[in-house]
Amino acid sequence: MISIKNVFKRYKSGKIYVKALDDISVNIEKGEFVFFSGPSGSGKSTLLNIIGCLTRVTSGSYLLEDKQVSHWPDHFLSPLRRERFGFIFQQFNLVSGYSAWENIALPLIPMGISQKERRKKALLILENLNLTTRADFMAQELSGGQQQLVAIGRALVNNPDIILADEPFSNIDARHVENFENILGNLKNQGKTIIIASHFHEPITKLVDKTFYFENGSISPKQ
Amino acid sequence: MKKYLNLLLVAVQNLRRYKAKSITITIPIILMMAVSSFMMFSRGGFVKDAEMAREFLPDVTIQGIEAGRVVKVSLDIIPEIKKIPHVKTVAPRVWGYIPLKIDDLDISYTLMGLELEDLPDNPEFLEVMEDGSFLVPGDRNKVVLGYGVAQTLGFRVGEDIEQALELCTISISDLKNIGDEITIDDTLGNHGKFKVIGILKNRVQVYSADLMLVSNDDARDFFGYAENEASDILLYLDENGSADRAALMISQLFKNTRVMTAKALTNLVKEAFGRRSGTFSAMWLILFSTVLMFAWSQTTHISVDAGTEIGILKSFGWQTGDIILVKMVESLLYGFLGTSIGILLGFVYALMGTPGISGYCIGCASIYPKFPVPVSCDADSIILLFLIGVIPVTLITAIPAWLAGTIDPDKAIKS
Ligand SMILES: Nc1ncnc2c1ncn2[C@@H]1O[C@H](COP(=O)(O)OP(=O)(O)OP(=O)(O)O)[C@@H](O)[C@H]1O
Ligand SMILES: [Mg+2]
């Protein structure tokens, strides 16, 4: 379903170019649970961002179901981000000034869904996440674990078939890790494609179908 | 369609979400619009006033001059003037300032005598009356008051009695009516007693607000002029007469006179105002550019936060266009809100009599202290003000939104 071929990614940082990805090729099938591991700065987030269409390849190709999306214009990518992908950021990236339910419902706004309908959908998701009591709390009033749950809820609100999570274990305690693992297990059972980038491996080992080990922007054969 | 409604609501919500930003952006807009609307309203008033009054001005005004100072003019020159071609009417006028003290306020009115027998027989004259009637030949000890004089002296004027009461600090039973007598004792020792028979309209304000019109004979008595003396002589020409030519002839015939045409007089007023309005224009420009720079810095400054937010929204499928739309509606609301409040303040300030700057604005102490600046406020100037207040601010705040909206979401989030 996802086919990454000979992808290079360079970032320009001031006058220097930083090589973030160096000739990467990856294939991911529908329903697979994929794990990107590797040390800090090895390029895991960069590839995750490319797959989620949050940034572009410098060269190489990215095929999503045989469609060459790597060079689509931005306004074609928006519906893709909305309908296919659910992104869970490392820093959760909730929007401050909005409540928990409003954050979950943010992706629904440009779809023309009314406020009443949005709230209904968001509350349903909060119920599944056992967070109904925090529906009207402002984002900044939630604990780290609760923020992550809201971030998960926001990634799921459009019922995407590809879930992308960047470092989901680094900002939460063991209890929440377990909770998150259960949620991921459920999503896997629903047939969703899941890609996680993290340098913690252990918690989700039993769910993982495929692991890619990153080193210096390349995928190392060593597992 | 529903999508746009949603985005509109988001924009409204954002005003509340970014309260501090909303306030810091709106306040300078309010200030800018208050200053410019005040300028516009009062400038419009002056120009309109000057033009309206011109209809009623004599074609040529002749004053006496001695050693460069304006003095009484002798009526002995009238027979000569009447011989000038196209002269229809020659009317000597006796007038002067009468400085008064009312409620500890120094107020200066103009008492103006008219040669009632020679008044042009002009039906338009009746249009200048707010109430009562104008003077007719033979009237003695009767006075027609300017709107402002009437108000300050506590006469029942116009429909707005409430307002008159507020201004005069007297009760409704104390309100004077047409037909009542007034006694004038000015601080120069002149004395007179007149029956009020009419009140002039508010319309020709700069000229007539501080006027008290009486017969020439009454004015002579009041100011102590001799039978063959006047303050100036008014000339009305027939249709074919040229004011400029008549003025030239008179100034050549009589050495000790100063001759002014109606055009010169109105230009004097317009120019006096125009020069001062230049100062305002400069102030306005400075303020305007400040606001633009401020709006710019505000929107770029907060873009540390807003950029992240834009990145997040984009990564969940918001289009760049959606985001720009929201930001533009936000700015539109800032502009609209700021402009509305600003115009209101400017208008109220102009109406209140421009405390603090009215003396400077007109530069003429003889204008009575209440409603010193004529206010004119029409749909055109309000529309123009809204365009000035809303469009540039909207466009300028759209730029940072556009910049943030067009970069890759991952970069925007990290910004
Ligand atoms: N926006 C950017 N501008 C410049 N350089 C960047 C940018 N994003 C990433 N990089 C660089 O690209 C390289 C790969 O970064 P990436 O975030 O993909 O690593 P990572 O494997 O996710 O690391 P971590 O485990 O610390 O999250 C790093 O050297 C980083 O400095
Ligand atoms: Mg990373």
Would you list which residues of chain B are within 8 Å, Cβ to Cβ, of chain A? 1-3, 5-7, 9-10, 17-18, 305, 308-309, 312-322, 406, 408-411, 413
A2-220 belongs to CATH 3.40.50.300: yes
Q: Do B309 and A114 touch (CB under 8 A)?
A: no
Nearest residue in B to A114, CA atom? B6
Does this model's pTM top 0.80? My answer is no
B180 Cα: distance to centroid of ligand 2 (angstroms): 91
Q: Do B3 and A110 touch (CB under 8 A)?
A: yes
Q: Are residues B16 and B149 in the same domain?
A: no
Q: How many domains does chain B have?
A: 2
Instruction: Return the residue in B5, B16, B316, B330 with the most chain A beta carbons within 10 A, the one to mutate for interface testing.
Output: B316
Length of chain A: 223
The strand pair at A210-215 and A33-37 is best described as parallel
Supply the pLDDT for residue A202: 65
Q: Are residues B250 and B296 in the same domain?
A: no
Q: Are residues B127 and B191 in the same domain?
A: yes
Instruction: Work out the number of other CB atoms within 10 angstroms of the CB of residue B351.
Output: 16
Instruction: Work out the number of other CB atoms within 10 angstroms of the CB of residue A125.
Output: 22
As beta bridge partners, residue A194 has: A33, A163
Instruction: Compute the distance between CA of residue B171 and CA of residue B151 in angstroms, rounded to an integer.
Output: 13
Taking 50 as the pLDDT cut, the residues of chain A under it are none
Residues 83 through 112 of chain A touching chain B, CB cutoff 8 Å? 83, 87, 89, 93, 95-98, 106-107, 109-112
Q: Are residues B139 and B190 in the same domain?
A: yes
Residues with CB under 6 A from ligand 1: A 11, 13, 18, 20, 38, 40-46, 199, 214; B 411, 414
Q: Give the end of a domain, one of B198, B228, B261.
A: B261
For residue B290, give both structure tokens. 């400040």
Q: Give the end of a domain, one of B212, B242, B261.
A: B261
User: What pLDDT digit, counting tens, does each position of A66-78 carry?
Assistant: 899 988 888 889 9
User: What pLDDT digit, counting tens, does each position of A184-202 carry?
Assistant: 999 999 999 999 998 876 6
For chain A, which residues make up each domain, given as ranges?
2-220
User: What pLDDT digit, counting tens, does each position of B251-297 carry?
Assistant: 888 888 888 887 777 776 666 555 555 555 655 666 666 666 666 66
DSSP codes, chain A: -EEEEEEEEEEEETTEEEEEEEEEEEEE-TT-EEEEE-STTSSHHHHHHHHTTSS--SEEEEEETTEEGGG--HHHHHHHHHHTEEEE-TT--PPTTSBHHHHHHGGGGGGT--HHHHHHHHHHHHHHTT-GGGTTSBGGGS-HHHHHHHHHHHHHTT--SEEEEESTTTTS-HHHHHHHHHHHHHHHHTT-EEEEE-S--GGGTTT-SEEEEEETTEEES--
Instruction: Compute the distance between CA of residue B35 and CA of residue B30 in angstroms, rounded to an integer.
Output: 9
Q: Do B7 and A81 touch (CB under 8 A)?
A: no
Contact pairs from chain A to chain B, CB under 8 Å:
80
User: What pLDDT digit, counting tens, does each position of A97-128 carry?
Assistant: 899 999 999 999 999 999 999 999 999 999 98
Sign, Cα dihedral of B206, B211, B216, B221: negative
Q: By residue range, what is the domain housing residue B359?
A: 2-51+269-414
Q: Do B322 and A82 touch (CB under 8 A)?
A: no
Residue B226 DSSP one-character state: -
A45 Cα: distance to centroid of ligand 2 (angstroms): 4
Minimum-distance ligand 1 atom for the alpha carbon of A217: 14
The average confidence (pLDDT) of chain B is 76
Supply the pLDDT for residue A201: 66
The residue written with tokens 């990805």 in the block is A21
A166 Cα: distance to centroid of ligand 2 (angstroms): 6
Q: Are residues B235 and B357 in the same domain?
A: no
B322 Cα: distance to centroid of ligand 2 (angstroms): 29
Q: Are residues B105 and B160 in the same domain?
A: yes
Supply the pLDDT for residue B135: 85
Supply the pLDDT for residue B283: 58
Supply the pLDDT for residue B396: 72
C-beta separation of B3 from A112 below 8 A: yes
For residue A139, give both structure tokens. 């984002």
Q: Are residues B155 and B287 in the same domain?
A: no
User: For residue B299, with 0-12 CB atoms within 10 Å meaning exposed, 13-18 middle and 19 or more buried, which class applies?
Assistant: buried
Q: Give the end of a domain, one of B235, B261, B287.
A: B261
Contact residues on chain B for A154, CB-CB shorter than 8 A:
316
Taking 70 as the pLDDT cut, the residues of chain B under it are 42-56, 118-127, 157-174, 202-208, 268-305, 352-377, 397, 415
Contact residues on chain B for A83, CB-CB shorter than 8 A:
317
CB of A49 less than 8 A from some CB of B: yes
Instruction: Compute the distance between CA of residue A203 and CA of residue A160 in angstroms, rounded to an integer.
Output: 24
User: B379-406 and B262-301 are packed helices; what angle lies between their axes, rounded to 10 degrees?
Assistant: 20
Single-letter amino acid code for the residue at B35: V
A11 Cα: distance to centroid of ligand 2 (angstroms): 14
Contact residues on chain A for B409, CB-CB shorter than 8 A:
54-55, 81
Q: Are residues B92 and B14 in the same domain?
A: no
